[in-house]
Structures are given as C-alpha cells and as structure tokens.
Structure 1
Amino acid sequence: MTEWEWDETLYAGSAPYYAVGRMPYPPELAEAIGAELGLDGRGRLLDVGCGPGSLTLVLAPLFEAVVGVDADRGMVAEASRRAREAGVTTARWVHARAEELPPDLGTFRVATFAQSFHWMDRSAVAERVRGLLEPGGVWLHVGATTHQGVDGDDPLPRPRPPWDRINTLVAEYLGPVRRAGQSALPQGTRSGEDEVMRRAGYSGPTRFEVGGDRVVDRSVDQITAGVFSLSSSAPHLFGAELPGFEADLRRLLTEASDDGWFAERTRPIAVLIWRP
C-alpha cells in the first residue's frame, strides 16, 4: 500500500452517516465564537472542509452569508439537503478541494476549519485562505472528536460503547494499519499545525474551549453510523464484505447493551484563533 496522499474516495459513502453518527456541536459553541469575535450578523463565513455542514449550519446565524466547501461531492449534497431542511437560505455549497478554492468566492470575515486541515496541503491552503480574509478577518481552527466520547471508568447511566472492541473488529476486516482513501496512515494524521500557520504569516493562536462533560445517550444505529462516518472505516473500504461487517458490528453492540442504548461523556471543543 502506498504512502498516503489525498484521493477523492477518502470519505466516499460516509456523508449520510454524519448527521446520525456524529455528536452535534453544542449550541454554546456559536455563542462563544460570536462573543469572542464580536460577530453581529454581518460579514461572510467560509467553512473549508465543511463536510455535511455540521459547523457551517451552527454558525450561519452569526453571518449574513456562509460558504461551505468540501472535496467530497456526497458531503456537499448532504450539506445542501440539511440546509434546506433547517430553512437556512444564506448558505452556498461548493464542491472543490481547499487547494483549489475558486477565485470568485469573494472575501470573508471568518474562515473555519473543523476536523479538516490535517487532510490538506496545509502550507498551500494557509496561503490561499489568507488572501480571502478581509482586513481584520480571522481563521478559526475547531478541534473536536465528535464520533466518540471520553474514555473513563466513572459511572454513567448506561454502558459505554465498546470502542476497543469496535476498533478490533474494524482491524479484523481492514487490517491493522489505519486506512484512508486508497492508501494508509500508519503514523496517523500530521501534526505541527502551529508551525505551518506561523510560517504562512499568521499570529496566535488565542485558544478557548467550549462544552464537554455532558452525558448523552446513543443508540446502536448512532454508534454504527459513527463508525461509517470515519475515513478509516468508510463504507467503500469494506467492498463486498460491507454487509458482513455491519452485521458483526451490530451484533457486538447489541450484546454490549441489554436495551441497545449507550451513554458517553462528550469532549470539549477547542477553538484556536489565528490572525493574518
């Protein structure tokens, strides 16, 4: 298997599972970002690597217009569908790689990257987005783990999902090295974001955290969708074995909970503000 490089199958088939399988961003996230940046409903937001609009739609009320960009066509379609369902009329959705942002997008008050920057040519994207920010505009990096809660032994009202066993099952089907698109990530995704940003001329970051420590109930369907929402276990990776894997996963989950429900403690959302 070759060294990892981006390809369009990275999240192929995952888009419909996001809304079900990922825990939503807490409502206080928009409130905190709005207060920190003094947002007043004016200006435009650019959400790069927007996925199915999970963050874009949360932040949309803070701006007069929002643009979500994603390299996966299915994610863009899902984001558009969810925006229509939510009655959000100020959003535009663009199918494009971050490295190839269309020149006609205009300028933005805020650019956001949520669980996405590590998949990109970070130096090239940092430079490109810098040119799209209006004077006084900012870059927000939103760091979160939304498919899985906090590990721990503290008592919860329901059993925790058996994530160790889930990961073992995925490895039994896909092998021990983390899959990503048509290749693999034996060392995980890249670090060193701060160095990349400073090299591109940004200052900061200013950091704050929001949410976390809520206990949420999650069903077998939600945990199953969470697994399929990951690049490392996207549906296409299983090929003809997909039905067998899903049956085994659901069996594992059903055996781990008498009523098919689990509880997890949510993780805090970290927000880093970079200024060009």
Structure 2
Amino acid sequence: MTGPAGCWIWGAAPANSPFPLAAHVSEAVGLDPEPDMLSEAHRQASDQGVTNVQWVRGSSADLPGNLGHFQLVTMGRCFHWMDREHVLTALGEMVDEQGALAIVNDSNLNLPSTPWQQAIADTQRRFLAPGHRHGSAPAASHGPPHERVLATSPFRHVKREVHQYQRTWTIEETIGYLYSTSLPLRRLLGARRTAFEEALTTALLSIDPIGQFTEPVALEVLTATRD
C-alpha cells in the first residue's frame, strides 16, 4: 500500500467505527475477526460514502500477514485483548520508519457510572448466568500497562492525552452496542433476546421517558513512534 495510508485494527463495534479517518488517508485496511462486524462496517461505509477502505477478516494473531506497509495503525478498545508483544513486533515490520501507532481507549458502557448504565448492568445480570456476565478476562488484564509494553517495543516513544466529553445514546444504539462487544450477548440470550430487549427498554424508559441518555467519556489516546 502506497501513499498516506492507515491500517485499522479494532473491535469493530458500530459505535466506534473509525470512518472519520478515511478522509485523511488515501487507502486503508480494516481488520476484524468477526464476519458480522465486517458486514456492519461494509453497510456503514456504504451509507457514509466511504470508498477507500478494504475490509479484511483476520485477527491480531495473523499479523504481519500480507496486508502491506502503513504510515499509521490505529486500534480502538481492543489492544488489551491481544498478545501485545507479538502485535508490536509484527507492526514493527509493517509500519514505515516515520510511521506511528495510535491506541485509543474510552469509557466502557458496561462499567456503570450513571443510573441508566447501572440499569443496563442489572438487566444483563438478570438474563445471564454468573459466568457470562462480563465475559472472559482480557489477555492484558493482569499484565503491565500499555505504556510500559510500548516502551520496550519498536514504538518506544509514547505520548499520552486524555480528552473528556459527553456521548449521547438512544435505546436502539445501546442495544446495538451491547451486541457488538466481546461478550457474545446475542448468542447467550438465544430465545430470550426479545424479552431482554423489552426488559432493557422498560428499565431505561423508567429513567428517561424520552429515551436519550448521556454517558461521561474519558478518551485516552496513546501515540507511539520509533523516535
């Protein structure tokens, strides 16, 4: 891949799709292991007129693969699920000498900080067995923080920024988000999916009858370069 390009490696949740970056690169690759997420990415790209992204099914374990060479790699809320040392070594072969990584993490809707988020957690608790309430632990949950891992990688120069803002959700967007996380909620619910959606809708509307909910967000951005 030549020219200004980016490689997107992310858990392609609809709420976190990186389409705004497309206007700033000539070509890009979106990588995700889930066919449903790639289908949703295709749909959103078509709706938004984004034509310069190639969508590829794969995981971080497949890197470096044959994806090409890039000036920028961006990752959303997914790096902590990966074998970080392996990924950074592989990206050392894929990213140009003057290139960079951008690792972006923001607040998790499933970690309650408001009454309506607590209602989501309570509803999921009612419908899921205890062992499935939060899914399996990320690979990096007991390891060093990202910044320390980056410091011993090819991308050892790290800049950290935190941006705080508010994000508004509708009930439909909330349910869509819950179905797009690493917890396979749709499959776990099975025939109880409709009952879950009805229960969640009732719980949320009891908090705000208009159906508009505000989430306080703290967005952390780690930008890592070789020099």
TM bracket (short chain)? 0.7 to 0.9
Which residue of structure 1 lines up, in the alignment, with residue 53 of structure 2? 91
- TM-score with structure 1 setting the length: 0.70
CA contact (8 A) 2:32 2:59 kept: yes
Give the counterpart letter for 2:137 in structure 1: L
Separation in structure 2 between the aligned mates of residue 173 and residue 144 of structure 1, nearest angstrom: 26
After superposition, where does 1:232-251 map in structure 2 within 5 Å? 232=183, 234-251=185-202
Cα distance 1:165–1:119, how it changes in 2: closer, same or farther (>3 A)?
same
The structure showing larger relative contact order (alpha-carbon pairs under 8 Å, at least 6 residues apart) is 1
My pick for the range that moved more, 105-114 or 44-53, is: 44-53
Task: Indicate the RMSD between aligned Cα atoms, in angstroms.
Answer: 2.7
Tell me if structure 2 keeps the 8 A contact 1:149–1:264.
no
Counting only pairs closer than 5 Å after superposition, residues 146-161 of structure 1 correspond to structure 2 as 147=109, 151=113
2:56 maps to 1:114: no
Question: What pairs up with 1:236-275 in 2 under 5 angstroms?
Answer: 236-257=187-208, 259-275=209-225
Q: Which moved more, 1:139-148 or 1:245-254?
A: 139-148
- CA offset digits 1:214-251 (Å, max 9, x no partner): 463x3332333333333336211212222222222122
> Per-residue CA shift, 1:39-74, capped at 9, x if unaligned?
xxx511001125157443111111111111011111
Identity percentage of aligned residues:
22
45 and 149 in structure 1: CA distance in 2 versus 1, 3 angstrom threshold? same
Cα distance in structure 1, aligned partners of 2:161 and 2:188: 36
Judging by fraction of residues, say which structure has more strand: 2
Length-normalised TM-score, structure 2: 0.84
Partner of 2:34: 72
Report the counterpart of residue 59 of structure 1 in structure 2.
21
- Note the residue ranges of structure 2 that are not aligned, 5 or more in a row: none
Question: Structure 1 stretches of 5 or more lacking a match?
Answer: 1-41, 152-159
**Aligned partners of 1:149 and 1:267 also within 8 Å:** no
Q: Which amino acid aligns with 1:136?
A: Q
Structure 2 Cα separation of the partners of residues 261 and 190 of structure 1: 37
1:106-135 alpha-carbon deviations (Å, 9 max, x no partner):
110011111011111211111111110011
Cα gap change, 1:121 to 1:236, in 2 (>3 Å): same
